[in-house]
Amino acid sequence: MSFARQCAKPAKHFSQTTQLVQEMHKGKGTFGRVINDPALYQKLIDSFDKFNKIADSIQNGNGTMSKLINDPSLYNSAADTLKKADLMMARNRTRRRDTRPSFQKMKNSTKAAKRPSPHFASLV
């Protein structure tokens, strides 16, 4: 590759970077809006502050989320309960499947119900 080509690559990247920075200063794109809109910037800072307070609260042991993260016995208990519920639902599905009449049995019983009874025919 020629020396001129090697020099052209950084110049192209520099040009693209310059264009990106200029667009951000004009307020284009997400970063451009954050940089140029003080209210949006403040909302972003407030959101980070709230997130940090929540993270600190969890880390300090406050609340349900903290207990789930920091106390393995609570997580293990919830996991065991969910496993038991899954087993019960699987057994219930199996029982329903075993006790349901098959389609063929239902079809045959419908045909039998439509035929007149031989006893009824003798009465007519």
> Cα 51 from chain centroid?
21
Q: Please list the pLDDT of the chain residue by residue as tens digits (124 residues).
A: 677 777 777 778 888 888 888 888 888 888 888 888 889 889 999 999 999 999 999 888 888 888 888 888 888 898 999 999 999 999 888 877 666 656 556 666 655 555 555 555 555 5
Tokens coding 7 = 């020099």
Q: Where are the domains of the chain?
A: 14-98
pTM for the predicted model, two decimal places: 0.42
